[in-house]
Amino acid sequence: MEAWIELLAGRSLQHNGTRHLPGVMLQAHQKDAAALRKVIDDAKVAGRALEPLPGPAGAAARATAVWAAHKEKGVIRPEHDELWNIQHDALSVWVWNDSDQLALTEADIEGWLSYASWCREVQNGGVLRISVADRVSGYRVLVDRFEGANREERLALASVGPFWGQIRDRWKAVPYEKQQAWIGRAPLPPPMTSTSLGYLQAIVDGSVVEHAASVHEVLGPFSLNRGPRVFDE
């Protein structure tokens, strides 16, 4: 179950989820072993379908699965008691759209904050420095952009966070020419001396579709599968 929740969340279990999960699973087994087995089997089936999907296709499928989980239509639902609470905390959904059936988790928001900081660094502007107080405003920038976006833009906003670790590592590994190819492709704003929050706003107000496409097409491919396949076990 941990692998499924982390796949949806785009990050490791937060707070005390990892520590609490074994006890929660034991309680669920004692309460209704057959029901728990069904949840586990359903998670494996869903994980096998989602985990190997590459790039934008994987991002879209994950964002839809996150929406389903948030709307209580996923593998783990409120009737699963503490297991639901662990998933809810891990996903930390900030914004969703019912028409498009897409949702962004905290990891998606954080991914764009990291991406914007990276963009600023390659323009020799230094890393983004967003204070704890400003972080709420930074999140609001992404939430507002998602809420005012069309479907293509919402999909782009879901296409950075789950791959951010791979993007960062790939950037460090590729040759200089590949780095320059991405810099030339990405719709970076003009050199700016504004605040970190202002730079984030400029990135998000730009073509998020082209930002996501440039990363995946120049530096990719990336996959939701970040290591050995765990759902085939």
* Phi (first) and psi of residue 127, to 5 degrees: -70, 155
CA atoms within 13 A on the CB side of 165: 10
Query: Does residue 79 register a pLDDT over 70?
Result: yes
Q: How confident is the model at residue 59 (pLDDT cuts 50, 70, 90)?
A: very high
Q: Looking at the predicted structure, is the pLDDT value of residue 27 above 60?
A: yes
Query: What pLDDT sits at residue 217?
Result: 97
% of residues, the chain, pLDDT over 70? 94
Q: Check whether 229 has a pLDDT greater than 70.
A: no
Q: What is the mean pLDDT of the chain?
A: 91
160 pLDDT band, cuts 50/70/90, is: very high
Distance from C-alpha of 184 to C-alpha of 146, rounded to nearest angstrom: 26
- Could you give the CA distance from residue 104 to residue 149 in angstroms, rounded to a whole number? 13
pLDDT tens track for 164-188: 999 999 999 999 999 999 999 999 9
pLDDT, position 146: 98
pLDDT in tens, 115-144: 999 999 999 888 888 887 788 999 999 999
In degrees and rounded to multiples of 5, residue 204 shows phi and psi of: -70, -30
Helix, strand, or coil here: 217? helix
Beta-strand relationship, 93-97 and 102-105:
antiparallel
pLDDT at 159: 98
Kindly report the backbone phi and psi dihedral angles of residue 105, in degrees, each rounded to the nearest multiple of 5, phi listed first.
-95, 175
Token representation of residue 139: 């999140």
pLDDT at 129: 86
Q: What is the pLDDT of residue 14?
A: 65
pTM above 0.85, yes or no: yes
Q: Which pLDDT value is given to residue 95?
A: 98
pLDDT of the residue at 15: 62
Q: pLDDT band at residue 81, thresholds of 50, 70 and 90?
A: confident
Which of 147, 145, 91 is CA-nearest to residue 113?
Answer: 145
Q: How confident is the model at residue 17 (pLDDT cuts 50, 70, 90)?
A: low
Helices (H), 123-163: 132-147, 151-157
What was the pLDDT predicted at 192? 72
